[in-house]
Structures are given as C-alpha cells and as structure tokens.
Amino acid sequence: MRVALVSMGWSGFRPSVEELSFREMMFEAAMRAYEQAGIDPRRDVDAFISCQEDFWEGIAITDEFAPEPIGGVLRPTLTVAGEFLQGLAQAYMMVKTGYFDVVVVESHAKPSDVESMRGVFEMAFDPLYLRPLKAPNPHFLAGLMASAFMARSGVDREHLAMVAVKNKSNGLYNPRASHSARITLSDVLDSEPVVDPLTRYEIAPFSDAAVVAVVASEEAARRLTDTPVWIDGVGWSTEAGTGSMAWHDLGSMPSMRMAATMAASMAGISSIMRDTSFAEVEDRYSFAELMAAEEALTGDALEAARMLENGDFDRDGYYPVNPSGGSLAMGVAFEATGGARLLEAYLRLLGGGEEVEAGAERALVLSWRGIPTRTSMAVILSL
C-alpha cells in the first residue's frame, strides 16, 4: 500500500506574525490543508500528530495545547517531541499499519515570542560539558562545524558564500521567503563574520510559521484528490545524540547520510542524485547545504561544491537544490523547518503538473534538527 500527501497548508513564514497566537497559526494552516483535501477533521481524520518542544513554546507539557487548533479534541492525538519530518514518518507508519486511512501532521513555531533565544539554545547544550561555557552566541557551534567541514573536505570559503547567494536569490520567487534578497558573492565575503567563517547572510534568521500535512493511504488519497504526491520513502537518524559530544565529528553529519539512505532504500532508489530531479535540503547555515549535498547526493563534498559553482544547483540548473530559497530565505521555524522543506518540494512537484509523466518526477527532502542536535530526517516524494 502506498502512502500519499493529499494536501498541505501553511501559515506565517514571516519574521514576526504579530496578530496571531501560535494556536491561531496552527488553526489557519490546518484550515487551509483541510479545505484543499475537502475533509472535516472532526469526522474524516483518524489521528493527529503535532511536533513541538516545550522550550520553544515557553509552556511545560505543551502537548495539552495540541488538539484544539487542529480539530483533534477527543480524537486520537499525539505529539512528537521532534521535527515535522519525524512526525511525518510516524504518520507514514501509522497509515502502513492499515488501521489509519487519514493522519494529519502539524508543526509550528513562534520564535518572535521567544525573547531569550540564547537561553533556550543553552538549555539544549550538554549541561556539564558545553553550557558552562556561556558563550555569547550559540551559533558558535555552527562556526566550529563549518571550520571542521572545510578542513576535512577542502571546500572553499567562497563555496559557502555561493550557497547564501543562491538561496537568498531563489527566495525572491517564493512568497513564503521573507528573508530573501538579491545579494552578490562580495556582499557575503566582504561582510564581517558573526561567528567565523559565517556572516549574517549565512545564518538563517527565524520565522514564525505553521505547517500542516494531510497524509493518507493510497485508497483514501485517490478518493480525496486527483493529485496525490506519494511518499516513497522516509528515513531518520540520531547519531550519538546531543548529550554525548564525545564521539562527534563536527565536520560531517552521518545522520543525514543514514536518513537519506533509509528513505532511498524504502523508495527502491539506488542513487538519489540520478533518480530524483531536485532537492529541498538543510541549509540553516550555508555550509549545511554542502554537507547535506555531500551526505545525501554526491558522496563527495568537493563534487557538491563543483556542481554548486557550475550552477548545477541553481533553480533552473541541472539539479536544483533549495529552489525555494531554503531556510536561508524562508527562515528557521523551529520544528516546522523540515515541514517547510517538505511543503516547498510538495508544491514544486504539483507545479510540474500535467507535463510530468507519473512516476518520473521525484524529489529529496532532507532536514536536520539544527544545533546542537545530531538528528536528521529524509523523505523521497514522487508525483
């Protein structure tokens, strides 16, 4: 039995959605998704999954807030204390059991409400071996990763800047990309770094956003829509975990590779690069896109850098990577960040429309949970 995305809804994707609470943003995103699928959540949805973390919300036991805004009151609702794509994998498995025909996945973020962002990041750091450092900017961890990645792979500083230029410009075509801009390589390279080597152009800002997906069995999907987008594979991996710094190689991200490999093998794909036509991947820091391309697509960072330099990853290139503008243009929306990658891949596949031969168009979606985690998720979609 295949599993499909029937519809997706969203709200926000702005630096600050002043007029709505996070619950209203959930409601708006859910309403859009249900309207498109033509379903009533009180009747037609078998289970709801909300992906959230207490500290992002500023509310302990925040799962109590999950059901109401998405229509899940007194219905099977569960939370995943993790990323949207982890929730999607959960939904995929629930549908596969045969007990659930329609499952809704939701995640949201209201970073504009978090006035002590540094404090929240610090709370995620190992309390004995990292937090006492009290560094004035937790992004330093990404700076260390970029440094280790460049040293290991030989990728140039310019290549990191090229990711920022590409994605910030791609965002100009995307109404959800509030942080897009037309910038040049020298804008990035001449800018004073925030944490070496990363400049402000290479560290994705935050966005308030909510994303909802309606996931269904093949039979239900065919009943609900003429344009199902198939979830051919899902994958996830947590390496040693945030708590165990001891065996981390900061210059690579095996969890990205393992998640992508798992999703590809489920989809029956031997080469993601050959068998998909574009990718929406992790890019909350410029180097992360090249790391993701290496781990999931090329197997070689220098090859990924060469393709980037040649324009192969451009939105009209041979293999577009983050044609939506990625997180650098859309912002980081906490646990909904991977949901944003999925949303953009979903919309792009649908946009290909009828010109595309069924089964011929596939996309890779890959996300990482950001510092200080070693958790990544991947999805292979097809039309």
In the complex with other proteins, which residue's Cβ is closer, 27 or 125? 125
State how far the Cα of 23 lies from the Cα of 17, in Å rounded to an integer. Answer: 12
Distance of CA 47 to the CA centre of its chain: 22
Q: C-beta of 113: minimal distance to other proteins in Å?
A: 8
- For the bound state, the minimum distance from the C-beta of residue 91 to other proteins, rounded and expressed in Å, comes to 29
CB of 229 to other proteins, least distance (A): 37
Q: Which is nearer to other proteins, 76 or 254 (CB)?
A: 254
The rounded Cα 138 to chain-centroid distance in angstroms is 20
Q: Which is nearer to other proteins, 79 or 277 (CB)?
A: 79
**Least CB distance from residue 254 to other proteins, whole Å?**
13
* DSSP assignment letter at 203: B
Cβ within 8 Å of residue 316, ≥6 positions away = none
Distance CA(66)–CA(70), nearest Å, equals 7
Cβ atoms of 141 and 299 closer than 8 Å: no
Q: Which residue's CB is nearer to other proteins, number 193 or number 268?
A: 193
Q: Select from 79, 27, 23, 18 the least CA-distant residue to 54.
A: 79
Contact residues for other proteins (CB under 8 A)? 18, 55, 58-60, 113, 115, 117-119, 121, 123, 127-133, 135-141, 143-148, 151, 192-197, 240, 244-248, 250-251
CB environment 310-320: b (16+ within 10 A), e (fewer): eeebbbebebb
Quick one: DSSP state of residue 195?
A: B
Beta carbon nearer to other proteins, 164 or 267: 164
CB of residue 155 vs other proteins: minimum separation in angstroms? 14
- The smaller minimum CB distance to other proteins, of residues 73 and 133, is found at 133
Of 31 and 194, CB closest to other proteins: 194
- DSSP 8-state code for residue 193: P
Measure CA 188 to chain center: 24
The Cα 208–Cα 206 span in angstroms is 7
Q: Which is nearer to other proteins, 152 or 274 (CB)?
A: 152
Tell me the CB-side half-sphere exposure of residue 1, using CA atoms within 13 A. 18
- The two structure tokens encoding residue 229: 């987008």
What is the token pair recorded at 135? 């560094």
How many whole angstroms separate alpha carbon 308 and alpha carbon 145? Answer: 20
Residue 192 CB, nearest approach to other proteins (Å): 6
- Closer CB to other proteins, 199 or 337, in the complex: 199
CB of 65 to other proteins, least distance (A): 14
Write down the least CB distance from residue 118 to other proteins, Å. Answer: 5
**Tokens found for residue 376:** 């990544």
- CB of 67 vs other proteins, minimal distance in Å: 22
Is the separation of the CB atoms in 29 and 106 below 8 Å?
A: yes
